[in-house]
Amino acid sequence: MNAISKFSINKKKRNWPKFLIILGAILLFLIILNIFVSPVRNYFFTISSAIQKTFWTAGTSSSGLISSLLKSGSLTKENEDLKKQNQNLLYQVAFLQSIEQGNRAQSDVSISCQNTGFQFVMAGVIGLDKDILSIGKGSVDGVSIGMPVINQQNVLVGKVFKVYKNFSDIMLISNKNSVINVKVQQQNIASEIIIVNPDGTTTTSTDPAPETVEIAGVIRGSGALSAYLDLIPVNSEINSDDVLVTSSLEKSFPKDLLVGKITQNIKNDQKPFQQAKISLFFDVKNADNVFVITNYKKDN
Amino acid sequence: MWKKIVPVIFIFYIFVLLQNSFFNHFSLFGVAPNLVFTLFFLLVFFSPSKLEVILLAVIAGFFIDIFSYTYVGPSIILLIILSILLKKVLSSLKNTAESYPFIYFLPLFVIFLLAYILLKDLYLYFLDPNKMVINLSLNIIYSLVYSSIFATAFFFIYKRWLKFTK
């Protein structure tokens, strides 16, 4: 019995050096790997990008197919087209509101700068991991950290987070670490004017040029492709379907880019600010290409 | 063992690509299934060799880390720890590998996946230079449920395959 227990202790003792050697080898392997992580990762993405892009496209088409089977016939495509048209129109509304409210000349200059001055790099989407989107363009294509990324409808996607030689990682605005300054643009606010007539009676009429109200707030990413609106002053009135665009306070992104719309207002009297559930305009599932703005600087 | 490792590396590689691209289009409330962890857990669950278990953890962790934005290492270390822990738990159940029923597999899978998610979040918050914010939300439950569906399917396919190869 004693001999058996001695034997088992010896066996355990003999296992320790083996275990430490394996552990040491793994740690050494990890240290060496992390020294060369950038080229190694770039190599893996380069050899995988074609397969990954195929999987991504297959996912887009099969999810579209399944959803169209679940719904009916052409409804999905029609809905997509309408969404795109709607986003374009919303962009135009945001664009016009900005002109109306600010100094027209100044706005014209800044908007023309935004419309004509920006250079884009189109990049194909190849993968997504926890609100970090991988695209097939990297430092050799002129992409660098911090650059804003949008889609073709001028909807904000996020910003460049990591750059490798041939590909980059984009931190989506739904990422938990993402916080961006936005303004809430309320639509169709037709203020009523009460006119007191000489005979004492009152008549109401609608203001022909309604004043647009812009409320500042921030959008915080909550992960899993969702985000919420925060830091809206309690005295500000926000409604469902109000559109959110990037504000001029935001230095990482150009202003007036579409972000999303409010779906539900969450008002808590105990909190100094209001929050709201939002729906982001950028739909990663249907994104095949995005555009990196390469010449927008933080100091713009 | 080495004959088995080469196809396993290939399958892990395909799974990580599928997880990061194809299955993002079929996400449940924005959460995609964790296919690599599911396959890793299944193989460790049925593997009799300790060395093989560590090798599986290194391969699975390597692919998870190389296709993410963090350093290469955290997933490897976490998976090694979890695989050793799983083997300890399984040995305490005193069953032969092939007789493990599904009622052991699924609860253990959920517990170990939860542990992996939480430990990875802690790493990302405290040790990663990007300091990713921890946000304990319903997404974790969605991830557990969604991955469990795949784990269930993989379990029965793998058991059938084991019977077939014997």
Q: What is the pLDDT of residue A8?
A: 46
Exposure class string for A56-65: b at 16+ Cβ within 10 A, else e: bbebbeebbe
Residues of chain B where predicted confidence (pLDDT) is lower than 50:
none
Residues of B in contact with A41 (CB under 8 A): 66
Cα A23 to Cα A290, B82, B126, B164, distances in angstroms: 43, 15, 23, 36
Instruction: Please list, in sequence order, all residues whose beta carbon lies within 8 angstroms of the beta carbon of residue A284, skipping any fewer than 6 positions away.
Output: A125, A128, A133, A172, A225, B24
Report the C-alpha gap between B99 and B93 in whole angstroms: 11
CB atoms within 10 A of CB A88: 15
Report the C-alpha gap between A120 and B116 in whole angstroms: 39
Residue B84, chain A, CB below 8 Å: the answer is no
Strands A258-266, A243-246: pairing kind = antiparallel
User: E-assigned strands of chain A?
Assistant: 120-129, 132-135, 148-150, 156-163, 168-172, 179-185, 192-196, 202-206, 214-223, 226-233, 243-246, 258-266, 273-280, 289-293
Tokens of A41: 């990762």
- In this prediction the ipTM stands at 0.85
Residue B117, chain A, CB below 8 Å: the answer is no
Q: What is the pLDDT of residues A272-289, one digit of tens each?
A: 888 899 999 988 887 888
Asked if residues A282 and A115 have their Cβ atoms less than 8 Å apart, the reply is no
- Cβ A55–B27 below 8 Å, yes or no? no
How much helix, strand and coil, in percent to the nearest 5, is found in chain B?
A: 75, 0, 20
pLDDT for residue A151 is more than 70: yes
Closest Cα of chain B to A135: distance in Å? 11
**What's the whole-number mean pLDDT along residues A181-193?**
68
Q: What is the pLDDT of residues A72-82, one digit of tens each?
A: 656 667 777 78
- Cβ B69–A22 below 8 Å, yes or no? no
Report the C-alpha gap between B50 and B3 in whole angstroms: 16
Residues of B in contact with A223 (CB under 8 A): 30, 135, 137, 139
Q: What is the pLDDT of residues A191-243, one digit of tens each?
A: 555 555 666 665 555 555 555 667 888 999 988 888 999 888 888 888 888 88
Tokens 């009135």 appear where?
A237
pLDDT band at A14 (very low <50, low <70, confident <90, very high): low
Comparing CB atoms, the residue among B67, B72, B135 nearest residue A129 is B67
pLDDT for residue A12 is more than 60: no
Residue B10, chain A, CB below 8 Å: the answer is no
**Interface residue ranges in chain A relative to chain B, Cβ cutoff 8 Å:** 22, 26, 30, 33-34, 37, 40-41, 44-45, 48, 51-53, 55-56, 58-60, 62-63, 126-130, 132, 134, 161-162, 169, 174, 176-177, 222-226, 284-285
Residue B136, chain A, CB below 8 Å: the answer is no
**What's the whole-number mean pLDDT along residues A246-258?**
84
| C-alpha torsion angle, residues B141, B143, B145, B151 (rounded to 10) | -140
Identity of the amino acid at B33: P
Residues of B in contact with A284 (CB under 8 A): 24
Asked if residues B63 and B17 have their Cβ atoms less than 8 Å apart, the reply is no
Q: What is the pLDDT of residues B108-145, one digit of tens each?
A: 999 999 999 999 988 888 887 777 777 677 888 999 99
Tokens of B72: 């290469």
Asked if residues B112 and B82 have their Cβ atoms less than 8 Å apart, the reply is yes
Backbone φ, ψ for residue A208 (5° rounding): -65, -30
The H or E element containing residue B65 is helix B50-66
Interface test with A, best of B25, B66, B81, B146 (most A CBs within 10 A): B25
Number of residues in chain A = 300
Reduced to 3 states, what is the DSSP secondary structure of residue A74? coil
Interface test with B, best of A23, A27, A33, A173 (most B CBs within 10 A): A33
Tokens 């203020």 appear where?
A191
B7: buried, middle or exposed (CB in 10 Å: 19+, 13-18, 0-12)?
Answer: exposed
- Find, in chain B, the residue whose alpha carbon is nearest to that of A131: B30
